[in-house]
Structure 1
Amino acid sequence: MEEYVYIDGKKYRRGYTTGSCASAASKAATHMLLTKKKIDKVNIDTPKGIPLSLVVHNIEAYENKVKCSIEKDGGDDIDATHRMHIYAEATLIDRVNDEDIIVEGGVGVGVVTKKGLSVDVGRPAINPVPMRMINTEVRKIIGENFRDNIGKNKSLRITISAPEGVEIAKKTFNPRLGIVGGISILGTTGIVEPMSDEGWKKSLSIELEMKKSQGLDKIILVPGNHGEEFIKDKLNLDMKYVVRTSNFIGYMLKEAQRIGFKKILMAGHIGKYIKISAGIFNTHSKVADARSEILISNLAMMGAPLEFLKKIESCVTAEGAVEIINNSDYTDFYDLISNKCKYKIDQYLLDEDIDVEVMMFTMDKTLLGKSDKADDLVEVFR
């Protein structure tokens, strides 16, 4: 594997996914079970076309089963599963459903409880690509003629587990996705590309897919915790409608459009939503941070004097600007900005059939402003 990539002129180290770990551990355990010989390393191929040679840990070998682990390495894209161990146990059992290989989930691997994911309800949260990887790598060991080589009345059971997964899952999106009891075994390429937002965005999008599959035709988009608390505590709306966007506002709007939602209520802190009013749809500060300029230009258009605008310019945060605006004659500013957000979103989606309304609040969840028909849309969610 080319261990490093360069992004914006900086050197970052690649890693490998929990799916690669699970397939490598499965292959190693199967090899040791059938050969009765321990190995220190195991080689696998990844869907990205990059081969991996991974160290085998925690070997437990018995007559009819072998268990071992592979340590997850996220490279420089560290997440909650970085450095945890993914285990596989290979066991020969009586033939089941005429299957050569049976893959199951053990301790710390979550179970899917809601529709809308790529894994059926009741099944372990091992995504399709890692599942194929496990089967492919194990097949390399047992061969195509498993019944002739091993015994016509036997199946090979592979149990994937992650003992730390029960606690680590609490730091992931799994509870929101209806995956209970542990982590998911993930990875579409087998390789973790550093500094990539794609995995994060995909997790958010999956939640939208799930809401649609559960029969919802309208959705509430919020950036994160503060938005959720606003919806729950201030608007008293059912949280089943709520999906987070993080900073990926534009991406999630387009996903909601693609999936078929026709009514979208958006609620967020002014620090993020002020950017949307200027057509900025990724609200991370590294992408664009023109909060002060947007505040000043809009207040200037409302007739605010120079000295007032200078006070706004001196504010380090949007919250600081809110304090000044709240003690002025320009409190209509918030509704103006909310309507501008709606206007920019309508332009962005170019879909007259989608009804979008916007609400903005402060850090203490006080409503600041709303688009003209936001209250009407809120009632639709009640």
Structure 2
Amino acid sequence: MTPEEMIGRTLREGHTTGATAAGAMKAAILAIRGEFPKQVSVLSPQRKEIVIPVESASAEGTVGTATCIKDAGDDLDCTNGTPIVVTVELTDTKGMELKAGKGVGIVTRPGLQVKIGKPAINPGPQIMLRYVFEELIGKDKGCIVTISIPEGEELAKQTLNPAIGIKGGISVLGTTGIVKPMSEDAYKRSLAPQVPVVWADGYRTAVLCPGRIGENAAKIMGIPEGAIIETSNFIGFMMEQCIARGFEKMILVGHMGKLVKVASGSFHTYNRNSDGRMETMAAYAAANGASKEVVREILDCNTTDGAAIIIHREHLDMIYSQMAERAQVRSERYIFGKSRVGVIFAGMDGTIQAVSSHAKDILEEEGWNIH
């Protein structure tokens, strides 16, 4: 279902990866006991009951395995419909040991909620798994719980896991066990963990990129990949996250189509929220002597790349530097001057169109050179 199809209808909630894994764990333990229910109930971290359908379950001796299918409801979640397989092995050693099976990532960088070397199973899911352990096994016995997501390594390519140092698969996530469809807050929360990771890696300049064009341009410029933070459309939100962490220097690197919006004071750049690109470019062109006819021609463009053809034809390329400077001013005003902010406009091919004054200074301070 597309976002357009979702408009105007009640959206169905789903279950997080963590809730699904907890359901599979419970079904696996019940299978060891000779019980094979079609669904199980598990507790969220807030102790609310969640019912999880069971796809399959089997057992051999003291080892049980069960599969539950991740149901994200109407949320546009890349893991929707993914099988989550949990194997439980009963042991004589007290306590619960968690292991990452195929497709579950391992944490390799500091700054996340899980320690380096541990399976990428967040605290919320760990609580849910612990509830299952306490209900069915108890403190006097033990088990090894291995969570596998067979499609996880491929799915991880659609997530930020590679960027934040989670290798080999996806994370097992969920703070409430319930997926709220099309949640902007959830998307923001998925972006925010990049900030402490970059800080923990020792970088004190955050390089914020709204998309792949900015990321590619930053890498071409020689900026370390570890300093790069994806913002998507939430540029203002991610700047605030950086301020909260302690960053006093930032560089915004991105395609003009995004950063022109920042020059006009928009820090949530989704096109349904803000789109004054042509008006901004036309205004700067007019301020630099463009005729009424040229201004109208720019206003009639559908894309900034289309407008760029006209601007180059009219020898008005100086407006890029002017807009980058304005985006710099707007950005520092947005965060009340708590950080220096530089702005770099990049072309579709990663070439640099404009570098603001503070961006030049920060690049020099960091020893990052534009090649």
Q: Is this contact kept in 1: 2:97–2:144, CA < 8 A? A: yes
The yes-or-no answer on 1:381 pairing with 2:366 is yes
- Of 350, 353, 357 in structure 2, the residue corresponding to residue 368 of structure 1 is 353
Tell me, yes or no, if structure 1 residue 165 matches structure 2 residue 152: yes
Q: Does structure 2 retain, via aligned residues, the 8 Å contact 1:25–1:87?
A: yes
Q: Please tell me the residue identity of whatever aligns with 1:124.
A: P
Q: Number of aligned pairs?
A: 363
Structure 2: which 5+ runs fail to align? 1-5
Q: Distance in 2 between matches of 1:331 and 1:176?
A: 34
SS at match of 1:103: strand
| TM-score normalised by the chain length of structure 2 | 0.93
Secondary structure at 2:10's aligned position in 1?
Answer: strand
Q: Which residue of 1 aligns with 2:257?
A: 271
Q: Look up the match of 2:341.
A: 356
Q: 2:128 aligns with which of 121, 124, 133?
A: 133
The code of the aligned residue for 1:377 comes to I
Contact 1:61 1:67 in 2 (8 A): yes
Match of 1:324 in 2: 310
Q: Secondary structure at the match of 1:310?
A: helix
**Secondary structure of the structure 2 residue equivalent to 1:377:** helix
**1:34-183 residue pairs with structure 2 within 5 A?**
35-47=33-45, 51-95=49-93, 99-143=94-138, 146-147=139-140, 154-183=141-170
Distance 1:251 1:8 in 2: 25
Counterpart CA distance in 2 for 1:344 and 1:241 is: 22
| C-alpha displacement of 1:49 | 6.2
Counterpart CA distance in 2 for 1:375 and 1:351 is: 18
What's the CA shift for 1:309? 0.6
- Comparing 155-164 with 271-280, which one deviates more in the overlay? 155-164
- 1:282 corresponds, among 268, 287, 292, to 268
**How far is the alpha carbon of 1:230 from its aligned partner?**
0.8
The TM-score with structure 1 as length reference comes to 0.90
Counting only pairs closer than 5 Å after superposition, residues 190-209 of structure 1 correspond to structure 2 as 190-209=177-196
2-structure distance, mates of 1:13, 1:22: 20
The answer to whether the 8 A contact 2:45-2:127 is kept is no
Corresponding position of 1:150: none
Where structure 1 has 5 or more consecutive residues not aligned to the other structure, the ranges are: 1-6, 148-153
Superposed displacement of residue 381, structure 1 = 2.6
Give the percent of matched residue pairs that are identical in Structure 1 and Structure 2: 35
Cα 1:38–1:292 change in 2 (3 A) is: same
Preserved contact between residue 76 and residue 182 of structure 2 (Cα < 8 Å)? no
Using the alignment, how far apart are the partners of 1:373 and 1:86 within structure 2?
48
* TM-superposition CA deviations, 1:123-150 (whole Å, max 9, x none): 111000100111112312234xx53xxx
What residue in structure 1 maps to residue 3 of structure 2? none
